[in-house]
Structure 1
Amino acid sequence: MKLVFAIAAVAALSGCASVMNDSTHPMKIETLTPDGKAICGAECKLGNDYGSITVKSGDTAQVRRSSKDMDITCVSSNQADAKGRAISRANSGMFGNIILGGGIGAIIDHNKGTAYTYPTWVQLIFGQTRIFDRTDEKDGMPLAGRQPEAAAPSAAK
């Protein structure tokens, strides 16, 4: 009887992020010129290991959650491409699985991607590549991102 109860308890606790989070979440995409002027309507392609979607800048897209980062490219006439990478970070559902002992649920949610979230509002800049990490987000504010670090010079031989 105790074994049946233990199995039922583990089953109830597993998949916490799957219960708490949908497989998608909203991400607002904005594009700016290098001098900060907003350009709406640029064609933006967002893609991760689950596929890609297209959205116009200025709009909000429902993006598929994943443990993998998301690449973003926006194009507009008379502008150099705006590129970005949205970093995937574990969300509270993953931590809930770990804290409540739902190791099986953590594995399931990791594999399904529901334990992860991307930034919710990003601003890409034409002619630049930016990195967007949701740990830098401030509530209600767009994330300007940062430029990728330059590759380290190789050691002299």
Structure 2
Amino acid sequence: MYLRPTAAASVLLALLAGCASLTESTEQSVLVQTVLDHREIAGVGCVLYNDTGKWFVTTPGRVTLRKSAGPLRIDCQKAGKGWAYEKVESKVDANLWGNLALTAGVGYFVDKNTGAGYDYPSTLTVVMHPAQEKEEGPAPAPGVTLF
């Protein structure tokens, strides 16, 4: 069977249309904000990391990270205010499912490995835990073990 060049190009474009790794970025910009006692707290330092890298941001702020099929972990802290540790799962986007159907599954594995077929929420609201107040008092005597 012979296909005209325009027909062959159309078939090729249709197959590639579902390939997120070719049509989407492997990076994503997210807004990170922190909340304590139902109020936003500014100036909190956060580290975001997944299996592809690590990024730093001071809240509220935007950071561009590399997408992944794995979870995004968020570790935040502000001296005297509080701390947070959260995990956010990535979600499959619509292009990944189209890719599975159009490329007989080959593109699915490419997108899963590059992260292009996945997205994190565009706004990450991190709930902080209050800092533990240290009890003031005399230091323990030498040789005394505290538990």
TM-score by length of 2: 0.74
- The residue type equivalent to 1:30 in the other structure is Q
Q: 1:27 aligns with which of 30, 52, 56?
A: 30
Partner of 1:70: 72
Deviations 1:102-137 (A, max 9, x none): 421111111111111111112111118xxxxxxxxx
The structure richer in strand per residue is 2
Partner of 1:153: none
1:20 shift after superposition: 2.5
Higher Rg of the two aligned structures: 2
- 5 Å-filtered alignment, 1:114-125, equals 114-125=116-127
Structure 1, gaps ≥5 residues long = 129-157
Q: 2:21 aligns with which of 14, 18, 21?
A: 18
In the alignment, structure 1 residue 45 sits paired with structure 2 residue 62: no
RMSD in angstroms over aligned alpha carbons? 2.5
Alpha-carbon distance in 2 for matches of 1:102, 1:120: 30
Partner of 2:91: 89
Partner of 2:134: none
Alpha-carbon distance in 1 for matches of 2:35, 2:50: 23
Structure 2, gaps ≥5 residues long = 131-147
List structure 1 runs of 4+ shifted beyond 3 angstroms: 7-12
Q: Indicate the percent of aligned positions where both proteins have the same amino acid.
A: 28
1:98 shift after superposition: 2.0
- The residue type equivalent to 1:70 in the other structure is L
Alpha-carbon distance in 2 for matches of 1:115, 1:95: 9
